Structure 1
Amino acid sequence: MTEADSASASLSPPEGFRSGFVSILGRPNVGKSTLLNALTRARLAIVSDKPQTTRTLVQGVLTLPTAQIVFLDTPGIHKPDSVFNQRMMQTVRTALKERDLLLYLVDATEPVTPAEREAIQLVLEARTPAFLVLNKIDRIHNKSRLLPLIEQYRSLGDFAEYVPVSALQGENLDRLQELIIERLPEGPPYFPPDYITDQPERFLAAELIREKIMNLTRQEVPHAVAVTVERWEEQPELLRIAATIYVEKDGQKAIVIGAGGQMLKKIGTLAREEMEALFGRKIFLELFVKVRPRWRQDARFLAELDWRTPVGG
């Protein structure tokens, strides 16, 4: 369904209705996915304390009586060192184009680094209105510390707004939402009121499995993991899902499986429980683990993983 088809399918909006596309950008691990989930009031993007959790564009739509905001969560801005990371950075560049507003997220508890300065320049070069959103302010007890930090960011570029928030605690998100809506152009909604995301259920299932792996395993494993859904069989009272977890080394496979298969069982149980809550039905989940050396350098395999081309998971 195209955006035009979606718009025509929806009811006529009230006078003064606003709608537009807003990209959420930032360095790895600053809370972009947490912000997307908080702003859309939905569980659309997986969350982990590991960098580069988000690997593709994740769309989330918030429809209000007066506006519709189409958010796009993006991978963290970084210097790519593999074909896989190059694809992620291309995704970031795509998110900079033809948007109504950019939200550049920073961790308010961290100092400004050279890498942060480079990322800010990349965002500002898009010449699209941008807000600097200072996240994780719930970790700052003395809020006066924010003022010199904001001034430091002001010296790096001309953002339209500087908004301190806590995506995790919901602090100041109502104000951020108001400021976003003020910047959107007047126009009809792009999608029907009940439309939340463009992600297929297969992709959401694969991402939930990957999230559990990232949160349960050691540092070397998360970046080397890919998940594909091989079978999706819908029955009257049961959804059967079979998924393959790919890693690059035998040692990583051993970690994912765990002693006596206990780690894989825990991953499967947690993922299945969350899928049942998300999809609203009973699920039978099978997980398999395979070694695929250097898959992050394999352009063909990466294309299979990207649901926006052939659906691979």
Structure 2
Amino acid sequence: MNASQPPAEQPAQPSSPEEPVPAASAGGGTDAIDAFFGRKTAPESAAQRCGLIAIVGRPNVGKSTLLNALVGQKVSITSRKAQTTRHRITGIRTHEDTQYVFVDTPGFQTRHGNALNRNLNRTVLASVGDVDVILFVVEAGRFGLDDAKVLSVLQGPGMEGKPVLLVANKLDQVHRRGDVAPWLKSMQERHPFAEFVPMTAKRPDDIQRLLQVVRPYLPEQGWFYDAEALTDRSDRFLASEIVREKLFRLTGDELPYTSTVVIDKFEEEGRLRKIAATIIVERDGHKGMVIGDGGERLKRIGTEARQELEKLMDCKVFLELWVKVRSGWADDEQRLRSYGYE
């Protein structure tokens, strides 16, 4: 089957009512699935390992949730709104003799051609070009046109020989074991994936199994970061991301995704952080959505962001929020750079 011309996205159909799916496991999932495909994991070695792992997939497929679970702490924001991640976010997990350096990429954009989306797609392409292994995240039992477009990037020039692991996330939403193996067989026909990993990112056992599957694909070399490191991003960057997450979570579908957050001030005074941030929107009507009646929504955004930042940074946080209108910013290359988009 040609991956560039897939059928329309359809949920997997139950095969029979008496075949419940057992708890997900990585590296091929159930014993039946392992037996069907065979294990292809590279031989183990006791040498120290370290490498870069890109997490790619269409928007809103669960990449940021997976990254946070792999790292063991929140380093990338999540929301139901597609296109939440906009930067190459690095999360680090050091376990025993192996350091995993994960790169969470924006969802590959196929529907809008503005400067922001072109920037996001450049970030995806740059991320996959210099990593050791790629985790291609899809929803278990589903494969639509947007998934196929991301896969076509992984099959493009310069990708020859780079191991791609198919991470079939949200396995808990597939209700019959019989649905999974035929779907995985169809995916095997689309691309010679190095591994098939049906799993649920919220299950700790699945995360541990995925780490075990990834380890043999990392080079034998020294670690890039200290063993205690969790991300290469600064507290200032994390502050802007947490505010943006609360913005999207509390405005839902009312607010277009072309809104962003700029940190105007980030000061450290002992165990106190003084932060001033501006929420950038494109229209006056969007400004009203963010502020809410009597300023209540903006106040809630600030309160929830402050509480999470205090937990992440283990200190007191004083947070000021402002809202400004900047029409057309998402299609202005100069403004994108000034707002921190690479």
| TM-score using structure 2 length | 0.83
**How far apart are the structure 1 equivalents of 2:222 and 2:175?**
42
Tell me the distance in 2 between the aligned counterparts of 1:237 and 1:157. 51
**TM-superposed deviation, 1:102:** 0.4
Say whether the 8 Å CA contact 1:21–1:71 is kept in structure 2: yes
Q: Read off the aligned partner of 2:244 and give its amino acid letter.
A: R
Gaps of 5+ in 2: 1-44
Partner of 1:95: 127
C-alpha contact 1:44 1:60 (8 A) present in aligned 2:
yes
Distance 1:169 1:251 in 2: 41
CA pair 223-266 structure 1, distance change in 2 beyond 3 A: same
Contact in 2 for aligned 1:40/1:61 (Cα 8 Å): yes
Q: Does 1:217 align with 2:251?
A: yes
Where does 1:130-141 land on structure 2 (aligned, <5 Å)?
Answer: 130-141=164-175
- Which residue in 1 is equivalent to 2:116? 84
**Which amino acid is the alignment partner of residue 281 of structure 1?**
C
- Aligned partner (choices 22, 30, 49) of residue 80 of structure 2: 49
Query: Does structure 1 conserve the Cα–Cα contact (< 8 Å) formed by 2:61 and 2:138?
Result: yes
Partner of 2:147: 116
- The residue that corresponds to 2:102 in the other structure is 71
**How far apart, in 1, do the equivalents of 2:222 and 2:268 lie?**
36
**Residue in structure 1 matching 2:294, options 236, 260, 266:** 260
Asked if the contact 1:233/1:240 (under 8 Å) is kept, the reply is yes
Size of the aligned set, in residue pairs, is 294
Give the aligned residue type for 1:292: R
Within-5 A mapping of 1:123-162: 123-125=154-156, 126-127=159-160, 128-162=162-196
Change in 2 beyond 3 A, CA 1:193/1:169? same
Shift in alpha-carbon separation, 1:165–1:15, aligned structure 2, 3 A: closer
**Which structure exhibits the higher relative contact order, with contacts defined as CA atoms closer than 8 Å and separated by 6 or more residues?**
2
Deviates more, 1:188-197 or 1:36-45: 188-197
**Whole-Å separation in 2 of the counterparts to 1:29 and 1:70:** 22
Distance (Å, rounded) in 2 between the aligned partners of 1:306 and 1:144: 47
Partner of 2:204: helix, strand, or coil? Answer: coil
TM-score (norm 1): 0.90
SS of the residue corresponding to residue 94 of structure 1 reads helix
Assess if the C-alpha contact under 8 Å between 2:276 and 2:321 holds in 1: yes
Q: How far 1:171 sits from its partner (Å)?
A: 4.9
Cα distance change of structure 1 residues 220 and 259 upon mapping to structure 2, 3 Å threshold: closer
**Whole-Å Cα distance in 1 between the matches of residues 190 and 271 of structure 2?**
56
Determine the C-alpha separation between the residues in 2 that align with 1:22 and 1:282: 34
Partner Cα separation in structure 1 for residue 153 and residue 128 of structure 2: 9
Q: Deviations over 1:217-238 (max 9, x none)?
A: 1324141211011011222342
> CA 1:102–1:254 in structure 2 vs 1: closer, same or farther (change >3 Å)?
same
Secondary structure of the structure 2 residue equivalent to 1:51: coil
Report the AA paired with residue 90 of structure 1: R
Q: After TM superposition, where is structure 1 displaced by more than 4 Å over at least 4 residues in a row? A: none
- Classify 1:222/1:167 alpha carbon distance in 2 versus 1 (closer, same or farther; 3 Å): farther
Q: Does the CA contact (< 8 Å) of 1:138 and 1:169 recur in 2?
A: no
Does residue 27 in structure 1 map to residue 83 in structure 2? no
**Cα deviation per residue 1:180-216 (whole Å; 9 max; x = unaligned)?**
0011121111111122211111110010000001111
Corresponding residue for 1:5? none
In structure 2, relative to structure 1, the CA distance for the partners of 1:144 and 1:235 (3 Å cut) is: same
Q: Which residue is 1:58 aligned to? A: 89
Match of 2:234 among 200, 204, 207: 200
SS at match of 1:176: helix
Distance of 1:143 and 1:82 partners within structure 2: 42
RMSD of Structure 2 on Structure 1 (CA): 1.5
Q: Say which SS state the counterpart of residue 129 (structure 2) adopts.
A: coil
Correspondent of 1:297 among 322, 331, 342: 331
- The letter for the 1-side match of 2:280 is Y
Name the % identity: 39
How many angstroms does 1:146 deviate by?
1.1
Q: Gapped runs of 5+ residues in structure 1?
A: 1-13
Residue identity opposite 2:83 in structure 1? Q
What do residues 247-286 of structure 1 show as CA deviations (whole Å, max 9, x unaligned)?
A: 0011110000000000000000000000011111111111
The DSSP-based 3-state class of the residue aligned with 1:69 is strand
Q: Which residue of 2 aligns with 1:271?
A: 305
- Larger deviation: 283-292 or 111-120? 111-120
